[in-house]
Structure 1
């Protein structure tokens, strides 16, 4: 049986902080907050790096505040996945290269030199985690409008080259990738890219759940099953993933996890339904069903 780790796609989501899950005195203290999270989980996905480039000094603090063996997975910056960017979130020197200093820029309006520098700073920003042995995968979620076109297949090839030396996981949001799965899966295997399986609602614009790893590592990201809110429009990012998994649904996810574990050496299950306590409760529920206890370091001197 593979090693299985379960966590959430953020530990600082505003609705989680407001939910009361973190004890008093912990919620507003960054170091205590991360240490408290690590009492329950041995892995987490960093969501903030999608919206703004990571900074090495922040990643270094994350590494220092977690025990040996804890793993961070880092979501790729939006301009590296074809989503464009928010101009106001860029450092001043890069913002000066943009056609406008505020608002959203679609990918076609982002200058090439900005994308190139964003790549450099993104990898530089996660380097402290890699050096500390605490970097899991880099998550690249392709936009829902991006299908398996020749251009996007070349993107996967360039992605493997640019991120060489890192474990790269790719999530497809467009169902057409799976209509071409007999061509896509061998390409991922050849490029050494990890396929991200998803749990999503039964919606024509949502990807199906395909439990087929392309490396020795498997990833299952659980977005909830809110079919009504899947397409949007959304005023807040969490609205699409506002879903509380039932016990029956968690049993289904446990079986999906075991299916992946029979094919891989290591499985990461990440809950992206980050509204209030929904993500942490689902993650704890799945751990219970899989017989996974607290992280081993909770009994040691780290705490």
Structure 2
């Protein structure tokens, strides 16, 4: 499937699941709706290898995983918590071992390296990206920036050429344009096999409030309109001409809008659910059990 659509995470997507679906069954249920899922728990802690073995064993082959790189690998930890040089290789090795079951099963779409807003376009940081790609050699890796300097006019083409030369998949963003801590939408593939697109919403007022309480909930609180999705339909088809596969992740989860927007986009593109259903078909509510008269007396 040239364009695949999914969500960032599956545990909190309550609109997908009927009442009574247990946490352990949610990923299996999720796989009926979408062919792609982003694993975000790996950003906070490198997951046990056994977890990926379980996830791949319990879901159909139609479901593919994008796994977010651990925060220590992308420089989100600073000060005393920052990894020393000798610890970096160990972190990367542990992460690679963690995701190996999904890779061996042919179910790993990519590892996603999202760098922090202070990771700007400097010679030192270019070197960090080269080293990260070396340590992930043989694994498809997507790169997402959060600092605008990488795509300023004087650096834009150099950044894209560097990503292409080093084997980075471009993670294209849709997000508010509110200064250096946000990047523009750049519709340019850097890998002929795959391009990523991540929808973060356009809540400009909440984007840079990282010090505020519940800032993550505020930041991704946004519902895309039909017109916005129709504009993106054309843009996704442009990217489809540049890469064999376009993997789309809706991350506007705060208000429960990601699943609805993802299904709307699937319908616009004429995509079916992995189970063959219409993405917009209403969820059937469970029917009460039917009792024969003899059961009651």
Asked if 1:209 corresponds to 2:185, the answer is: yes
SS across alignment from 1:239: helix
Asked if 1:235 corresponds to 2:195, the answer is: no
Corresponding residue of 1:220: 197
Contact 1:147 1:176 in 2 (8 A): yes
Q: C-alpha root-mean-square deviation of aligned residues, in Å?
A: 1.8
Q: TM-score, normalised by structure 2?
A: 0.87
Residue 175 of structure 1 deviates from its aligned partner by 0.7
Asked if 1:24 corresponds to 2:19, the answer is: yes
Corresponding residue of 1:87: none
- Describe the superposition over 1:227-254 as per-residue Cα deviations: whole angstroms up to 9, x where unpaired: 0001003433232111111111111221
1: CA distance between counterparts of 2:134 and 2:277? 38
Contact 2:62 2:274 in 1 (8 A): no
2: CA distance between counterparts of 1:112 and 1:188? 23
Asked if 1:191 corresponds to 2:186, the answer is: no
Residue 3 of structure 1 deviates from its aligned partner by 0.5
Select 1:118's aligned residue among 77, 85, 91. 91
Residue 107 of structure 1 deviates from its aligned partner by 7.0
Select 1:64's aligned residue among 57, 63, 66. 57
Select 1:83's aligned residue among 52, 76, 81. 76
Which is higher, the Rg of structure 1 or of structure 2? Answer: 2
The alignment covers a number of residue pairs equal to 272
Structure 1: gaps (5+ residues) = 85-104
Corresponding residue of 1:257: 236
Q: TM-score, normalised by structure 1?
A: 0.85
- Describe the superposition over 1:107-140 as per-residue Cα deviations: whole angstroms up to 9, x where unpaired: 7743334433221211111011111111110000
2: CA distance between counterparts of 1:23 and 1:112? 47
Residue 46 of structure 1 deviates from its aligned partner by 0.4
Higher relative contact order (CA 8 A, sep 6+): 1
Corresponding residue of 1:94: none
Select 1:128's aligned residue among 88, 95, 101. 101
The 5 Å alignment of 1:42-191 reads: 42-84=35-77, 106=79, 109-179=82-152, 180-191=155-166
